[in-house]
Amino acid sequence: MLDQPLPTLQAWVDYFDAAEIPVLRHTVRELEALRENAMRTNARLIASTILHDPMMTLRMLRYIEARRSKRQLTDITTIERALMMIGIEPFFHDFSELPLVEDQLKAHPKALLGLLKAINRARRATHWAREWAVWRHDIDVDEIVVATLLYDFAEILMWCFAPALAVEVVRRQKENRHLRSVVVQEQIYNVPLYQIKLALAQAWHLPQLLITLMDPVHAEHPRVRNVKLAVDLARHSANGWDDAALPDDFKGIADLLHLSVEAVIERMGLADVYPPRSAEASAEAASPNQETPGS
């Protein structure tokens, strides 16, 4: 556990490369239930459980890449395919007795709460990204799902291994909403998180396709925009539906899906929360209907 920032990007990469990434207690319980019912368990059911936990997903991709055969020419870019390659029985054997993040952060309740919020944000982004990918008839929706879930994995690792620093990042951002995230990250970690993310992805030999989908430099590609817009919407809406960045988010989503902003909001089931009503409009809507004069 770190309470001081490491000095360089390489130092962060070396540290996380040697770290044992913990997973959620709920993930372990769900996998144990699937193991006990092995006769009815299949790769899709296991993948669904894994994809609720960014840390378990990351462990899975690292595992498959570390055991990659020289004869394997194509990347494994989805969890279900990874499971089919490993086999269900070997998977349960090699992923037993996993470390729990709840144990690791027992002494850091604020960090555990921050981590759970980040995971919930990633899940919301993944839900939206999947819906949009299906609407777009994406060539492989599951790839979009994995890339979206892992988009902020460097932040998640900080909550796990540098809890005091991660809490300080949030404190400074709340103090000054106009301060860019990358500036705060450089102040606290010495390196912005996106650089740590991409450097770790390369060091761990994660599939190049997933790295591309997680890199906003390639935002001209619709698949990358699909991922980035879902991540942005989840992050900004977590601040409240009056967040100033949301109009641009919805415009970007509308352009991606070739719909109007109104159609996007309706399709996502957000008409009741966005745009938020003014206090006057809410009071007027809540008041009983008044009879018109002369009626």
For 232-251, what is each residue's pLDDT tens digit?
999 999 999 999 999 999 99
- How far apart CA 23 and CA 21 sit, in angstroms, is 7
pLDDT of 294 > 60? The answer is: no
DSSP classification of residue 226? H
Cα 32 to Cα 37, 66, 83, distances in angstroms: 9, 24, 16
Q: Which fold has domain 102-267?
A: Hypothetical protein af1432 (1.10.3210)
- DSSP per residue over 232-271, as a string? HHHHHHTT-TT-TTHHHHHHHHHHHHTS-HHHHHHHTT-T
- How far apart CA 44 and CA 52 sit, in angstroms, is 13
- DSSP per residue over 79-141, as a string? HHHHHHHH-HHHHHHHT-SPPBHHHHTTT-HHHHHHHHHHHHHHHHHHHHHHHHHHHTT-S-H
DSSP classification of residue 204? T
pLDDT, mean of residues 62-84 = 84
More confidently predicted of 104 and 283: 104
Residue 32's pLDDT band (cuts 50, 70, 90): very high
Lowest mean pLDDT, pick from 10-24, 159-173, 276-290: 276-290
Cα 176 to Cα 78, 179, 249, 251, distances in angstroms: 38, 6, 21, 26
196 within 8 A of 19, measured Cβ to Cβ: no
pLDDT, mean of residues 69-91 = 85
CA angle 63, 215, 151 (to 5 degrees): 55
In this prediction, residue 39 carries a pLDDT of 79
- How far apart CA 184 and CA 276 sit, in angstroms, is 29
In this prediction, residue 106 carries a pLDDT of 97
pLDDT of 16 > 90? The answer is: yes
Residue 70's pLDDT band (cuts 50, 70, 90): low
Lookup: tokens for 137: 């008839």
More confidently predicted of 114 and 174: 114
The pLDDT tens digits for 132-181 are 999 999 999 999 999 999 999 999 999 999 999 999 999 999 998 888 89
pLDDT of 85 > 60? The answer is: yes
Lookup: tokens for 78: 């989805």
Q: Supply the mean pLDDT for the chain.
A: 92
pTM, 2 dp: 0.91
The full set of domain ranges for the chain reads 22-101, 102-267
The pLDDT tens digits for 34-55 are 999 877 899 999 999 999 999 9
pLDDT of 77 > 70? The answer is: yes
